Chains A and B, each alone.
Chain A
Amino acid sequence: AQTVTQSQPEMSVQEAETVTLSCTYDTSESNYYLFWYKQPPSRQMILVIRQEAYKQQNATENRFSVNFQKAAKSFSLKISDSQLGDTAMYFCAFNHQGAQKLVFGQGTRLTINP
């Protein structure tokens, strides 16, 4: 079975600091996609960043970047220069090529303090 594990239920950092959220996954597939979604308080979930497993280069979106370690099945999210608006629940998710369903981790509640 495919599983996604986020081992940090909660994290808290000061504004402008860099924070890394961890995610590991388990699959026997070789072609798959990994995602980080953000759910701000009382607002809808949005995609932060996406990685295709066949690409060796780590995805980057402005202040958000990932460290994708395929052999270790690890997919961490780094937020640089954190801002108050980054306060949210963050979910790591996975699906394999050809599948439409996503498998989600348990989520990490991130708080950015002023």
Chain B
Amino acid sequence: DVKVTQSSRYLVKRTGEKVFLECVQDMDHENMFWYRQDPGLGLRLIYFSYDVKMKEKGDIPEGYSVSREKKERFSLILESASTNQTSMYLCASSSPGQLAKNIQYFGAGTRLSVL
């Protein structure tokens, strides 16, 4: 089974802090994604990466950055956390190519509260 592990289930941070959310997958997937989940808005893509050191902005990248130094790990960084970044953050991974069927596999999520 594919395993996508997010380092924290719950985080509480203060406004202005630098926050790191970590995600690790064990299936050698090329693609990794960070989403933000808010009630009534579904999942919105923040950033994704299709290879080590490669990244692309999603729909809501403002206030976030990412790092992918190793294939299995994709980090989401909030440079200066703000209260409007309080949300559930989901990491996902997938493999490109037809056999993979475009299926994404998700971590359990990190619920971040910024006070």
Residues of A within 8 A of B (CB): 4, 6, 9, 33, 35, 37, 43-47, 50, 91, 93, 95, 99-102, 104-107
Q: How many residues on chain B are close to A (CB under 8 Å)?
A: 24
Given A44-B107, A45-B90, residue A100 in contact with residue B41 (CB < 8 A)? no
Point out the residue from A46, A50, A91 that lies within 8 Å of B42, measured CB to CB.
A91
User: Which residues of chain A are within 8 angstroms of B41 by Cβ–Cβ distance?
Assistant: 106
A104 CA to B45 CA, complexed, in Å = 9
Q: Are B103 and A47 in contact (CB-based, < 8 A)?
A: yes
How near does chain B come to A18, taking the closest CB pair, in angstroms? Answer: 25
Task: Name 20 extra pairs, CB < 8 A, besides A44-B108, A102-B102.
Answer: A33-B101, A33-B102, A35-B102, A45-B90, A47-B104, A50-B101, A100-B31, A100-B48, A100-B50, A100-B96, A100-B102, A101-B33, A101-B45, A101-B48, A101-B58, A102-B43, A102-B45, A104-B43, A105-B42, A106-B42
A65, chain B: closest CB distance, angstroms: 18
Tell me whether A95 and B102 are in contact in the complex, defined as CB-CB below 8 angstroms, given that A100-B31, A100-B48 are known contacts.
Answer: yes
List of A residues within 8 angstroms of B40 by Cβ: 9, 106-107
**Distance, CA A43 to CA B9, complexed state (A):** 10
The 8 closest A-B pairs by CB, nearest first: A45-B106, A104-B43, A44-B108, A104-B42, A106-B42, A100-B31, A33-B102, A44-B106
Chain B residues with Cβ below 8 Å from A44 are 4, 106-109
What are 21 A-B interface contacts by the 8 Å CB criterion? A4-B42, A6-B42, A35-B103, A44-B107, A44-B109, A47-B103, A50-B103, A95-B102, A99-B102, A100-B31, A100-B102, A101-B45, A101-B58, A104-B35, A104-B42, A104-B43, A104-B44, A106-B40, A106-B41, A106-B42, A107-B40
Chain B residue, CB-CB nearest to A44: B108
Q: In whole angstroms, how far apart are the Cα atoms of A56 and B108 in the complex?
A: 34
